[in-house]
């Protein structure tokens, strides 16, 4: 597998630079055409560099497929009014209890208001990187590595599916199925579509669903498809309380934090890839707390 070389610009205020692939020709003119005068002005300010760190100026011409790097201008974002408690910190790892409504890392309209950027700023760890992701609406245990060279070993644990995860969820729906039950289905998530869907075919998603009584459920995923737990509970007639996507899409204002998704990444267990030590991290959040 080919590894992408490190960006030639360091993170700034918690954010790494943007990597852009060029169409070819004069760089300043292309940036002006594609992104506007404000982005093109970054060339004159000496804020745009090539992959090897060479500063681009108004005369620079690069071929199609070349990459350049620059810092983005941040959009206005609605602040997420919740702290990110640290459950564990050592030289290699930071484990936090992510709140609802906070994305794991920058994507789309969520940039500064993400766990990654906030933690880089608060902990002064510019190379902090998530070893896995939680949905923006899901709260609970989230693991980060502190240095670039550590990302691979820990991310590989999650990619191989050897990390043991347990979630808690609440559904106010009256159960009509026998539990425990191993739910197996094929889940597909298409770009641009808010919902994932189940379709016929070879199963690619497995979740053990157990009832804890009083509308509470323990979920043990054996795979990690997008929205897997939300889709599987909804398929059992047990949609998670506060879910704006399943079983139907509900429009929620960006500044409405009144109805959190009652889904919590409660427990994370794995054998440390560097030391072989057994690691266990448990959320301190209350599933029903706002």
What residues contact 144, with CB distance under 8 A and at least 6 apart? Answer: 93, 94, 95, 96, 116, 119, 128, 129, 130, 131
Q: Does 290 participate in catalysis according to the annotation?
A: no
Q: Assign 3-state DSSP to the chain and report helix, strand, coil percentages, each to 5.
A: 15, 30, 55
Distance between first and last Cα of the chain:
43
C-beta neighbour count of 44 within 10 angstroms: 12
Cβ–Cβ < 8 Å for 66, 97: no
Residue located via tokens 């409405």: 256
Q: Is 82 exposed, middle or buried (0-12, 13-18, 19+ CB in 10 A)?
A: middle
Q: Please name the helix (run of DSSP H) or strand (run of DSSP E) that holds residue 276, with its range, or none.
A: none
Catalytic residue among 97, 135, 241, 243: 135
User: Would you please indicate which residues are annotated as catalytic (active-site) residues?
Assistant: 135
């Amino acid at each position: 597998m080919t590894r992408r070389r490190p960006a030639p610009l360091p993170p700034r205020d918690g954010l790494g630079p943007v990597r852009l692939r060029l169409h070819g020709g004069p760089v300043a003119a292309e940036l002006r055409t594609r992104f506007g005068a404000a982005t093109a002005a970054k060339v004159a300010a000496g804020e745009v560099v090539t992959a090897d760190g060479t500063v681009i100026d108004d005369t620079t011409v690069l071929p199609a497929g070349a990459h350049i790097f620059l810092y983005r201008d941040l959009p206005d974002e609605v602040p997420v009014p919740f702290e990110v408690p640290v459950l564990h910190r050592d030289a290699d790892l930071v484990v936090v209890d992510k709140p609802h409504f906070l994305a794991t890392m920058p994507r789309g309209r969520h940039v500064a208001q993400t766990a990654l950027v906030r933690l880089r700023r608060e902990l002064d760890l510019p190379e902090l990187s998530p070893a896995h992701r939680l949905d923006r609406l899901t709260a609970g245990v989230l693991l980060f590595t502190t240095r670039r060279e550590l990302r691979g070993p820990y991310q590989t644990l999650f990619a191989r599916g050897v990390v043991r995860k347990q979630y808690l969820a609440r559904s106010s729906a009256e159960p009509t199925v026998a539990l425990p039950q191993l739910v197996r289905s094929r889940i597909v998530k298409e770009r641009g579509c808010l919902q994932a869907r189940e379709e016929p075919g070879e199963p690619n998603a497995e979740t053990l669903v157990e009832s804890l009584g009083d509308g509470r459920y323990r979920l043990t995923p054996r795979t990690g498809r997008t929205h897997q737990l939300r889709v599987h509970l909804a398929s059992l007639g047990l949609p998670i309380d506060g879910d704006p996507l399943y079983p139907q899409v509900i429009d929620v204002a960006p500044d409405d934090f009144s109805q959190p998704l009652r889904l919590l990444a409660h427990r994370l267990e794995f054998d440390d890839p560097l030391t072989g030590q057994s690691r266990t991290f448990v959320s301190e959040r209350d599933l029903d707390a706002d």
